[in-house]
């Protein structure tokens, strides 16, 4: 089974339909030339300054990983808000309303979504294949998935992705497997893409970074959309300066987790009122939380 490619003129419903069937899809021309150039200019020099990881098992000793992307480039915001991924994620994750009783009132609620992490991933020559895994493992999700997925991952190619330079390897259809079946490298296909294309996959789809046997690095940006009642994998409150968060639109502030969900997850109390943390962002006297220096 191969990875289906869709043009950037596809509707979120068309993209979601392929993802539901195959667990993965590639969108050609996902990022505009301006966003792609901006990301390359802002992130590639930063990647030059950081060392590769020190975890030989999963993160890779010849792989550089740069997170806190919203603190580092506004072009990452354009990626997060691209309707091709954002609206598709909403269609897949915000389903199956849950009914619950509060006394004699029955209330129905659907989950909201948020950005769970941001990471530029640069795989250098000599890096072996990453262990095949499901990204929803961080949330201890069970399979086959009951009702709804926990997350949708997005990988935007900043360089070409080829079989030789470590294109992400995916097992289409594996989102339907149970937790006993082991994923095998010979069941994977490489997600070959041009710079600016994007790969989207369900949290339950097996995949992993590919082995880089070429002579240059492969760079992509990973940015999962997750159910907002789960804890963010990357702590956005400690990663993005408050002044920067204040400058974002309310829609984006909510996507970053500065929202009180419909079921009160993430509330704060101010003067005895149980409110949305968005209220805090509007207060002049709220200056900062302890950020990563
Ligand atoms: O770099 C890649 O192609 C995939 C990385 C990945 O799946 C991960 O780090 O969870
Ligand atoms: Fe992954």
**pLDDT per residue over 30-62, tens digit each?**
999 999 999 999 999 999 999 999 888 899 999
> Can you tell me which atom of ligand 1 is nearest the CA of 207?
7
What pLDDT, on the 0 to 100 scale, is given for residue 86?
A: 98
CA-based R_g, the chain, Å: 19
**pLDDT per residue over 252-263, tens digit each?**
999 999 999 889
Q: How far is the CA of 209 from the centre of ligand 1 (A)?
A: 5
Which ligand sits closest to the CA of 133?
Answer: 2
Q: Is the peptide bond before 128 cis (omega within 30 degrees of 0)?
A: no
Reply yes or no on whether the pLDDT at 289 is more than 80: no
Please name the residue whose Cα sits nearest to atom 4 of ligand 1: 209
Q: Which residues line ligand 1 (CB under 6 A)?
A: 121, 130, 135, 168, 207-209
All domains of the chain in start order, with CATH: 5-96+110-236 (2.60.120.620)
Which ligand sits closest to the CA of 59?
Answer: 1
Q: How many CB atoms lie within 10 A of CB 3?
A: 21
CA gap 151, 141 in Å, rounded: 10
Q: How far is the CA of 136 from the centre of ligand 1 (A)?
A: 12
Reply yes or no on whether the pLDDT at 290 is more than 80: no
Verdict on whether the full-model pTM lies above 0.85: yes
**pLDDT per residue over 219-240, tens digit each?**
999 999 999 999 999 999 999 9
> Can you tell me which atom of ligand 1 is nearest the CA of 208?
7
Reply yes or no on whether the pLDDT at 6 is more than 80: yes
> Can you tell me which atom of ligand 1 is nearest the CA of 167?
3
Q: How far is the CA of 190 from the centre of ligand 1 (A)?
A: 12
Q: Which residues pair with 227 in a beta bridge?
A: 113
Surface-to-core class of residue 34, CB atoms within 10 Å of its CB (0-12 exposed, 13-18 middle, 19+ buried)? exposed
CA gap 271, 133 in Å, rounded: 45
Average pLDDT over residues 76-100: 97
CA gap 140, 160 in Å, rounded: 32
Q: How far is the CA of 251 from the centre of ligand 2 (A)?
A: 26
Residues with CB under 5 A from ligand 2 (ion): 135
Residue among 24, 53, 130 whose CB has most ligand 1 atoms within 8 A, to mutate? 130
Two tokens at 225? 């959309």
CA gap 184, 174 in Å, rounded: 11
Please name the residue whose Cα sits nearest to atom 10 of ligand 1: 135
């Amino acid at each position: 089974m191969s990875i289906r490619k869709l043009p950037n003129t596809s509707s979120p419903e068309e993209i979601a339909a392929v993802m539901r069937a195959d667990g993965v899809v590639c969108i050609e021309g996902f990022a505009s030339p301006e966003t792609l150039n901006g990301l390359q200019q802002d992130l590639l020099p930063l990647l030059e300054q950081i060392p590769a990881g020190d975890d030989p098992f999963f993160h890779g000793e010849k792989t550089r990983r740069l997170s806190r992307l919203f603190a580092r480039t506004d072009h990452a915001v354009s990626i997060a808000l691209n309707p091709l991924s954002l609206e598709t994620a909403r269609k897949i994750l915000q389903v199956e309303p849950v009914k619950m009783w509060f006394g004699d009132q029955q209330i129905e609620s659907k989950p909201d979504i948020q950005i769970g992490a941001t990471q530029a991933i640069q795989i250098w020559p000599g890096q072996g294949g990453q262990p095949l895994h499901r990204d929803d493992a961080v949330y201890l999700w069970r399979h086959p998935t009951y009702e709804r997925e926990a997350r949708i991952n997005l990988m935007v190619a900043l360089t070409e992705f080829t079989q030789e330079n470590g294109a992400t390897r995916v097992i289409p259809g594996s989102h339907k497997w149970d937790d006993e079946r082991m994923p095998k490298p010979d069941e994977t296909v490489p997600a070959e893409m041009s710079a600016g294309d994007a790969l989207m996959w369900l949290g339950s789809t097996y995949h992993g970074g590919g082995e880089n046997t070429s002579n240059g690095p492969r760079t992509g940006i990973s940015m999962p959309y997750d159910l907002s009642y789960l804890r963010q994998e990357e702590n956005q409150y400690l990663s993005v300066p408050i002044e920067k968060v204040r400058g974002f639109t309310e829609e984006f502030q909510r996507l970053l987790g500065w929202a009180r969900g419909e079921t009160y997850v993430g509330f704060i109390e101010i003067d005895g009122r149980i409110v949305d943390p968005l209220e805090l962002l509007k207060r002049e006297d709220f200056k900062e939380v302890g950020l990563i220096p």
